[in-house]
Amino acid sequence: MPNRSGRKSLTVRLSDQQIRVRLPHSKLEAVGGVILRALSFNRAEVSFLFVSSRRMKTFNRRYKGKNRSTDVLAFSQLEGKRLPRLKTVCLGDVIISVDDARGQAPSFGNPFLKELVLYMVHGVLHLLGHDDEKPGPRKRMREEEERIMKRIHTRFPSLWP
């Protein structure tokens, strides 16, 4: 989402490889931009891949060694060796199970799209190194998720009630 001057550049790539739910691609792309801006990025790139639970199970088995579906997988480009400073930061890839979002939303009292957007936020925070395995870091991650979700809802109140 570059502006006309070209000074700021946020790139959000979406790939929808599931067929069960029709997703509002343009709104989700815009949501990705809000997430990046909420995290103070001016020049960044992130990609989201929306898949079925069956496809997610394949990814989870291949990359995490777990033979089950999961809601979100995040593959950061920021881990490992420090790269030279780039003008645009490539954060990485977030894979989201649409089936898991749809299945888990009612148990958390969330509309489907709110749960899906939460997975987008959650995945980007993982790309940045946030951890939800231990109580302290999990609490900080949840607070950051809540802050970003409020900003998204302010920008797109029609996404969920």
CA distance 102 to 108: 11
- DSSP assigned state of 23: -
pTM for the model stands at: 0.91
The pLDDT profile of the chain, 161 residues, written as one tens digit per residue, is: 444 445 568 999 999 999 999 999 999 999 999 999 999 998 999 999 999 999 999 999 999 999 999 999 999 988 765 555 667 889 999 999 999 999 999 999 999 999 999 999 999 999 999 988 889 999 999 999 999 999 999 999 999 88
CA distance 8 to 112: 31
Question: Domain map of the chain by residue range?
Answer: 9-156
Secondary structure E strands in 29-88: 43-51, 72-76
Task: Look up the CATH superfamily of 9-156.
Answer: Metalloproteases ("zincins"), catalytic domain (3.40.390.30)
